[in-house]
């Protein structure tokens, strides 16, 4: 299939069919022609990625009956009706039954093309939302876990969902606080291993002398102090997911033993010669360049290639500044519920500072700042305290410098989404990932009237 919007055009007059197809193909539509409604219905399904356009007066089944049948297949599939015999009552009845638009003959090609472009945009949004919901239906709402609307976080969500159905090892690379464990939990919780353990080990926090016993487990009497048998973390992760955080800190000697486990899928507890089969997905996380570490002899190259079957790179927060307002609001609302406090929106000076700061602690640091804001503990303490609005022009709300730029950008994003969604608030909320109350508040703040974006009456 081409990337062009599709139109299924139904009319019993051959000359009309041919002329409309010529108009629409010149306007870059892909057109299918049918003479009767039953013939049109034969190839129609709920995943049809286009619009149905039909004359009202047809043999066998008229356009209004076709509208009813199409809506039974998919109530969100746009149907545009055309008639040379219409009147106001018929138009009102057609719209009441769910027609997207009603066009009376004779009509100009521009009038038809304009209506179909709006309908095609609506259909595209509906199908995109359905595809996303279908991908998420197996395990939860990843957009509610990995929050953001920027291209970087959207690509990360797509990459995770592509890996969810598999069991391949994944290497997650990102700075401290960027959300590496959250990504690992998404891979676990949304996949087929969700009913089994998620075992997280911080390789930098376990003393080297205890590392092997922690991972492999041990039998009673295996060493001084081993009073009881202990099940190791690798054995406990059987059928689930093993998350190895800061994998670069794992001792070289133990790296060799981990590699053997990943290759043979068996472990031996300390003090035992019995092999125990294990089956887990391994997700390793690092803030270091493991390839460079392997080249320098600080990390086993063979283990690096074993872990790096698939790689996910987490962008630092400073590279996704467009997500900071949404993340801050999410964390603040979360903290307000936890501490039973009122959520007070940040003022423009605070938001400017949040947008300007480089966030060395990434999302984790932003979460802490949001919680301090809710608790009234000088949310912008430390390095943030000295940040002030940049000098420059102010907007009509008194915002200056970066704050004015952020506000203008946010306003333009909302207006663009409303335009794409033809003023439909529900679709706009889904497009922007905002709750209704937040969207309403922003529209009121920026003086945005959704009626400006509603389709013109036909």
Domain boundaries, the chain: 6-134, 142-315, 321-453
Say what the pLDDT of residue 51 is: 95
Residue 310, helix vs strand vs coil = strand
Are 418 and 450 in contact by the 8 Å Cβ rule? The answer is yes
Enclosing H/E stretch for 200: strand 198-202
6-134 folds as Rossmann fold (3.40.50)
In 3-state terms, the chain is what percent helix, strand and coil (to 5)?
50, 15, 40
> Alpha-carbon distance 132 to 116, whole Å?
24
Dihedral class, residue 106 (left if φ above 0, else alpha if ψ from -120 to 50, else beta): beta
142-315 folds as Rossmann fold (3.40.50)
Residue 31, judged by CB atoms within 10 A of its CB (0-12, 13-18, 19+), counts as: buried
> Alpha-carbon distance 22 to 11, whole Å?
14
Instruction: Report whether the peptide linkage leading into residue 106 is cis, meaning its omega lies within 30 degrees of zero.
Output: yes
Do the bridges between strand 230-231 and strand 241-245 make them parallel or antiparallel, or are there none, so unpaired? unpaired
Say what the pLDDT of residue 387 is: 41
- N residues, the chain: 458
Residue 317, judged by CB atoms within 10 A of its CB (0-12, 13-18, 19+), counts as: buried
> Alpha-carbon distance 326 to 279, whole Å?
38
Helix residue ranges per DSSP H, 376-424 = 401-420
Residue 154, judged by CB atoms within 10 A of its CB (0-12, 13-18, 19+), counts as: middle
CATH of 321-453, one of 3.20.20.450, 1.10.8.60, 2.60.120.560, 1.10.760.10: 1.10.8.60
Q: Give pLDDT tens digits along the chain (458 positions).
A: 457 889 999 999 899 999 999 999 999 999 999 999 999 998 788 878 899 999 988 988 988 999 999 998 888 899 999 887 666 677 777 888 888 988 888 888 898 999 999 999 888 888 877 665 555 453 346 877 888 888 899 899 999 999 998 889 999 999 999 999 999 999 999 888 999 999 999 998 888 888 888 898 888 888 877 788 888 899 999 999 999 999 999 989 889 999 999 999 999 998 888 899 999 999 999 999 999 999 999 999 999 999 999 999 999 999 998 898 889 888 888 888 888 887 776 766 777 788 888 898 999 999 988 888 888 775 455 556 544 333 333 444 444 444 455 566 677 778 878 888 888 888 888 888 778 888 888 888 888 888 888 887 65
Say what the pLDDT of residue 212 is: 85
pTM: 0.55
Are 212 and 257 in contact by the 8 Å Cβ rule? The answer is yes
* 6-134 shares its CATH topology with 142-315: yes
């Amino acid at each position: 299939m081409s990337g062009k919007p599709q139109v299924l055009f139904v009319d019993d007059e051959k000359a009309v069919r041919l002329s409309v197809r010529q108009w629409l193909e010149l306007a870059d539509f892909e057109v299918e022609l049918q003479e009767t409604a039953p013939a049109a219905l034969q190839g129609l399904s709920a995943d049809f990625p286009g619009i149905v356009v039909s004359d009202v007066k047809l043999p066998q089944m008229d356009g209004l009956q076709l509208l009813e049948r199409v809506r039974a297949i998919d109530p969100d599939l746009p149907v545009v009706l055309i008639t040379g015999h219409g009147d106001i009552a018929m138009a009102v009845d057609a719209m009441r039954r769910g027609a997207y638009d009603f066009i009376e003959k004779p009509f100009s090609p521009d009038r038809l093309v304009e209506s179909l472009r709006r309908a095609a945009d609506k259909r595209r949004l509906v199908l995109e939302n359905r595809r996303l919901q279908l991908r998420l239906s197996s395990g939860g709402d990843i957009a509610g876990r990995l929050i953001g609307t920027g291209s970087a976080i959207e690509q990360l969500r797509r990459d995770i969902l592509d890996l969810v159905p598999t069991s391949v090892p994944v290497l997650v690379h990102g700075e401290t606080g960027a959300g590496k464990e959250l990504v690992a939990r998404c891979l676990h919780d949304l996949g087929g291993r969700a009913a089994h353990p998620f075992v997280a080990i911080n390789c930098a926090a376990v003393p080297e002398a205890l590392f092997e016993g922690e991972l492999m487990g041990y039998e009673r009497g295996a060493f001084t102090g081993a009073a009881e048998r202990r099940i190791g973390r690798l054995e406990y992760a059987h059928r689930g997911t093993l998350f190895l955080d800061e994998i670069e800190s794992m001792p070289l000697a133990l790296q060799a033993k981990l590699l053997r486990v990943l290759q043979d899928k068996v472990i031996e507890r300390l003090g035992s010669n019995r092999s125990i089969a294990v089956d887990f997905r391994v997700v390793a996380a690092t803030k270091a360049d493991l390839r460079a570490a392997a080249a320098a002899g600080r990390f086993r190259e063979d283990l690096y290639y074993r872990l790096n079957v698939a790689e996910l790179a987490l962008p630092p927060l400073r590279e996704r500044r467009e997500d900071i307002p949404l993340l801050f609001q999410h964390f603040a609302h979360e903290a307000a519920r936890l501490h039973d406090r009122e959520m007070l929106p940040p003022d423009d000076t605070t938001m400017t500072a949040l947008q300007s700061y480089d966030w060395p602690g990434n999302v984790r640091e932003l979460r802490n700042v949001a919680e301090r804001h809710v608790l009234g503990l000088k949310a912008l303490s430390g390095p943030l305290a000295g940040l002030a609005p940049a000098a420059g022009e102010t907007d009509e709300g008194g915002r200056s410098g970066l704050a004015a730029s952020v506000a203008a950008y946010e306003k333009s994003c909302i207006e663009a989404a409303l335009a794409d969604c033809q003023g439909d608030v529900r679709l706009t909320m889904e497009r922007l990932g905002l709750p209704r109350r937040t969207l309403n508040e922003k529209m009121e703040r920026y003086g945005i009237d959704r009626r400006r974006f509603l389709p013109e009456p036909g």
